Structure 1
Amino acid sequence: MSLFSKKTATLAFVLALLFPIQTMAAEPTIAAAAQPASSVDNTKGLFVILTDEEPMTQMMALVLSTQTIEQGKSVQILLCGQAGKLALKYSKQTMFKPINKSPQMLLAALIARGVAVEVCPLFLPNVNMSESQLINGVSIAKPPVIAQKMRAEGIKLFTF
């Protein structure tokens, strides 16, 4: 093979690497990738695990949960640790501006809209409380059921 032929073959090889030939099979992949991700929403709802004792964090978690309901998606809430106190009758309330509501008020409104709210099964016995001290609409979580709900298709998990 002549020196000219070797250089031409090498150049053709390098160009082929730099500019691969696109086939018809590649087009659907390119077309699918071009669609914006926001055009398809497969989310059915949220599973919110609230553990933080800070009232402002609790408030934001419940504000976002309320907005999720407003947008037609489902919400389920699990209260664990210090956040479990939200579910106790006569718990201390902190009011927040600009809506002049407390996390307990938002939690009650979510319950009234059908949101399932449960407390961690470890919460009550470890704060020396009983189920009778929970506000209406709050139940004690069953770990196998919670695990199933958390991994359900279309459910996004949020922790606060």
Structure 2
Amino acid sequence: MKAGKLTALLLGASLMAPLAAQADGQQVEKALVLVNSGSLQTQGMAMVLGNAMQQQGTQVDVLLCDKAGDLALSETANEPLKPRDVTPEQLLMKLQKGGANVNVCALYLPNGGHDKAALREGVGVATPPAIAKQMTSEETRVFSF
């Protein structure tokens, strides 16, 4: 089998595994939502899905990296997204109010020219060991946007 076909097969299988687990009626206990896209629509959809998971009883944690880290800045005010006219940062704050832990990547502040004082209330700075532990936990499903 050619390497490209094998890669596509493995990617497809890895994408279907979470669906198979949910089809068995298993509820995801914990979710780690990794957002690094600078696209407002992608950021917004990540937050919409995070809120939907939270409403279904899943403990949702969010890690914001690269351009998505800007959502964590108190100065950020994006244009509202249709159809609900809410911003990704408003959806992020809703997640926080529901109990989500929100952190920026450890590299975000030192490479973005910001310090902790620039972050929204309740947003922390992730440590690689803590995130690695979450990512490898059997109880946590990782979603990347």
TM-score range, shorter chain: 0.7 to 0.9
> Under a length normalisation based on structure 2, what TM-score does the superposition of the two structures give?
0.82
1:48 equivalent to 2:33? Answer yes
Structure 2 counterpart of 1:144? 129
Distance in 1, Cα, partners of 2:89 & 2:22: 35
CA contact (8 A) 1:78 1:119 kept: yes
> Under a length normalisation based on structure 1, what TM-score does the superposition of the two structures give?
0.74
CA pair 113-37 structure 1, distance change in 2 beyond 3 A: closer
Report Cα offsets for 1:75-110 as digits up to 9, x if no partner.
111000010000001113120122110001001111
Q: Note the C-alpha offset of 1:40.
A: 2.9
Q: Which runs of 5+ in 1 are unaligned?
A: 1-35
Q: Of 57, 65, 80, which aligns to 1:80?
A: 65
How many percent of aligned residue pairs carry the same amino acid? 35
Aligned residues: 125
Q: Note the C-alpha offset of 1:61.
A: 0.3
Q: Of 60, 63, 67, which aligns to 2:52?
A: 67
Q: Which runs of 5+ in 2 are unaligned?
A: 1-20
Report Cα offsets for 1:131-155 as digits up to 9, x if no partner.
0000001000011011001111221
CA pair 41-98 structure 1, distance change in 2 beyond 3 A: same
Distance in 2, Cα, partners of 1:66 & 1:84: 18
Superposition RMSD on alpha carbons, in Å? 1.5
